[in-house]
Structure 1
Amino acid sequence: MASIKQIAQDIGVSAATVSNALTGKGRVSKDLADRIRARADELGYRPSSAARALKTGQSGIIGLVMPDLTNPLFPRIAQNLSIAAEARGLGILIADSRGSETRQTEALQQLVGRGVDGVVVVPQKGTSPEAPGLPMVTINTARDPRNTVSADHIGGGALIGAHIRELGHGHVVLLGGDRVSDVQQDRMRGMREGLGPSVRSETAWGDAGLTALPGLVGQGATAILATSDLLALSALSELSRAGFSVPEDVSLTGFDDLPFATAMHPALTTTAQDVSAIAEHALEVLTGLIAGAERPETGHAVPMQLVPRASTAAPR
């Protein structure tokens, strides 16, 4: 079976350096850490959880609390966090708070009770939880004071807004799912910034907002900017039932570039999150906190990418 000593000999470094690279501790350059992890993968190295626990008093397990695993975005985040944890020799326990703030609190308490070394939480909308007595990182948005890392939701919204403005739209609807969501509020803020003062915008929320869309298009709105791809899909259905065509009658955009965005007809213009980079940063900060490092003073925003497709065009 492969060992830390063998990896150290192959790379030409000390066993302590290999251990630090695999656990995310100490000062090891990213290039060297990547080489060490790659060699560990080639050799099939797997750390012993029991040995780690005896040596460090740590379980080698981290907890992850997700807000709703029925949303296609969150399993993708969970998968990337799992990959990032495994690359550091860590196991991961995943809890789904299933849309409930109470369940979120219970899930955090259960993970603490199971002896995890730290927790990653993607909070329920409108909440900013704490994990009592444990290192914790939060994946949320800039307005959350506890946010550690997130997609740049404001910047992503600005990309969408600028795209619509440059196409020549002068009257748009910003469509959100829930006013309580900090993420959606930040996305709308970015959209307004990208649209600029020359474009008229109005806001619609939830089921009532979806129902109002055909009337707003009838009153002259030529683009609808939704705060998620799921919401854009619902908007497309509502518009189609009312006899409006996308993008001939009205342009439509989403957010997050979920897999079904390319299967929609027309394919959806949206923005893409770099979920891998978010997961890597979250695990880098969490393993540092577990090792005793200071918490970063500010959260890190990972840029988003505009993905233009056939659902947007110049207004008629």
Structure 2
Amino acid sequence: MISLKHIAREMGVSTATVSNALSGKGRVSSALAERIRTYAISAGYRPSSAARALKTGQSGILGLVMPDLTNPLFPSFARHVSVAAESHGLGILIGDSRGDAARQGAAISHLVGRGVDGIIIVPQKGTSPVIPRVPGVVINTRSDPRSTVSADHGGGGRLLGAHIAGLGHRQVVLLGGDAISEVQRDRVRGMAGGLGDGVSHEILWGEAGMAALPDHVRRGATAVLATSDLLALGAHSHLSRAGYRVPEDVSLTGFDDLPFATVMHPALTTTAQNVEAIAEYALGAITRMIAGEDDLPGGHAIPMRLVVRASSAAPPDVCRDAS
């Protein structure tokens, strides 16, 4: 088994430096700490959780509570958190809220009872969970005052709104899944801001809103901006059944750049979260909190990236004028 002494000898540093780099404690430059962690992982180093617990009173295990692992976005996020945790010499226990606020509280209590050193949580929409007795990092959205880090959901919405306005659309529908969600409200606000003053828009929510889309297109809407790729997929089905083509009759955009966005026909214009950067920031924050740093700034938002594909185009009247 690879030891701390072996890593120290190969890296030309002291055993204490290696220990501090792997635990996130002490004064080790970020560049050196990253080199040490990279070497330790490549060499197959695995810290002894029993030894860690005896020495520090910590388990070396973090809890990760996700809102719904059936949503394709969250397994990808859990994988990135697990990779980031491994680079810090930590393990992960995952709790799934399964779309239920009561299960979320039970998952937190269960993980705390298992002796985790801290919890990272993506909260259920509309909830503000309490994490007792251990450090906690919340990943939600900038408008949530308890959020530690998140994607810039409002900024992602502005990218989509500006893209659609730039194509010439002047009557647009914004489609959200649930108005109780702070994330979706931030996305809708961002979309509306990106459209600017010269574009009229109407906000629809949920299944009723999705069912009303064909009527709005009949009345002149030329683009639908959805707050998730899953919603965009549903919207595409409703529009297709009503005889409308995307993007010839109506442009369509999503949010999150899930894997199926590229296999939809046409491929979906959307925005992509930098999930890896969010996971790394969350791990850095939770390890600093475990080390006793209490004054960490919250509300950090990581920019999203616009991904333009074939589902968005100039509106039909602009296309006719140009031909």
> What does residue 297 of structure 2 align with?
297
2:279 counterpart letter in structure 1: A
> How far apart are residue 77 of structure 1 and its match?
0.8
Question: What do you get for the CA RMSD once the two structures are aligned?
Answer: 0.8
Query: Alpha-carbon deviations, 1:41-87, whole Å to 9, x = none?
Result: 22111111010001000011110110000000011111110111111
Per the normalisation by structure 1, the TM-score is 0.98
- Alignment of structure 1 residues 233-244 onto 2, 5 Å: 233-244=233-244
Task: Name segments (4+ residues, structure 1) moved above 4 Å.
Answer: none
| SS of equivalent residue, structure 1 residue 192 | helix
Q: CA deviation at 1:8?
A: 1.3
Partners of 2:218 and 2:25 lie apart in 1 by 59
Residues 21 and 36, structure 1, Cα contact 8 Å, conserved in 2: yes
Aligned to 1:262: 262
Map of 1:147 onto structure 2 = 147
Distance, in Å, in 2 between the alignment partners of 1:165 and 1:70 is 33
* Aligned residue pair count: 316
TM-score, with structure 2 as normaliser = 0.96
AA of the residue aligned to 2:156: G
Deviation of the 1:296 alpha carbon: 1.7
Cα shift readout 1:147-174 (whole Å, capped 9, x = no counterpart): 0000000100000000001101001000
The 8 Å contact of residues 168 and 315 in structure 2, kept in 1 or not, is answered as: yes
Instruction: Give 1:201's aligned residue.
Output: 201
Residue ranges of structure 1 left out of the alignment (5+ in a row): none
Q: How much does 1:26 deviate? A: 2.6
Task: State percent identity of aligned pairs.
Answer: 69
> Pairwise mapping of residues 66-85 of structure 1 onto structure 2 (< 5 A)?
66-85=66-85
Query: Which residues in structure 2 correspond to 1:159-170 (within 5 Å)?
Result: 159-170=159-170
Compute the displacement of 1:178 (Å).
0.2
Paired residue for 1:106?
106
In structure 1, the residue matched to 2:183 is 183
What aligned pairs does 1:1-316 form with structure 2 within 5 A after superposition? 1-316=1-316
The equivalent of 2:319 in structure 1 is none
In structure 1, distance between residues paired with 2:19 and 2:201? 54
Provide the rounded CA distance (Å) in 1 between the counterparts of 2:100 and 2:26: 38
Aligned counterparts of 1:131 and 1:85: Cα–Cα separation in 2: 19
* The 10-residue stretch of structure 1 (20-29 or 163-172) with the greater mean CA deviation from structure 2: 20-29
Distance in 2 between residues matched to 1:295 and 1:77, nearest whole Å = 26
- 1:16 positional shift: 1.6
> Partners in 2 of 1:151 and 1:259 — Cα distance?
18
Unmatched 5+ stretches in structure 2: 317-323
Q: Secondary structure at the match of 2:204?
A: strand
SS, match of residue 163 in structure 1: helix
Would you say the 8 A contact 2:148–2:297 is kept in 1?
A: no
CA distance in 2, matches of 1:245, 1:28: 57
